[in-house]
Amino acid sequence: MYDIYCRTGIKISFPIIADRNGQIARKYGMISSDVSNTETVRNVFVIDDKGIIRTILIYPLNIGRFIPEIIRIVQALQMADCSKGATAANWMPNQPVIVPIPNTFNGLLERVEDINKNDNGISWYLSFKEPPKECINKKTTECNRLKKNENKKE
């Protein structure tokens, strides 16, 4: 944790555990017996604030993780949650989000009319909207809140 702080200036506010006997790594499927009986493959778990695993990435031992993609995944999860929509393949921050499909026939008709009027979709089941401003600004707000809390602790 100290190395992370020295290199980045970021204080880790959550526990980091030691797994000396590999028990946790085995439970989470991090040891690939095809490769090694003791070394973990390069796993990334994105766990939300409710303790739910939202994403698992597994990289071979000889391949490094791609941090920009991990950051994009976290941003996409945050955007999907905030906007109550979904993010498309290759989605990047500030791009439109996918609108949930309508639940009724009348909703479907309204969606088709909206697509025809605003040219914001391909069909009733795939249309897009600009992300709500509060979702775009949420990251900045969240970062500012975390910084204020950090300053209070010091």
Q: What is the pTM of this model?
A: 0.71
For residues 74 and 130, state if they share a domain: yes
Q: What is the pLDDT of residues 32-46, one digit of tens each?
A: 777 666 676 778 889
Strands 42-47 and 53-59 turn out to be antiparallel
What pLDDT score was predicted for residue 37?
67
| Average pLDDT for 53-58 | 92
Q: Which amino acid is at 9?
A: G
* Terminal CA-CA length for the chain: 17
For residues 16 and 75, state if they share a domain: no
Report the alpha-carbon distance of residue 136 to residue 139 in Å, rounded: 7
- pLDDT tier at 21 (50, 70, 90 boundaries)? confident
Whether the predicted pLDDT of 149 surpasses 70: no
For residues 106 and 131, state if they share a domain: yes
For residues 148 and 76, state if they share a domain: yes
For residues 114 and 144, state if they share a domain: yes
Whether the predicted pLDDT of 139 surpasses 70: no
For residues 20 and 44, state if they share a domain: yes
Residue 132's domain is classified under what CATH number?
3.30.1020.10
59 within 8 A of 65, measured Cβ to Cβ: yes
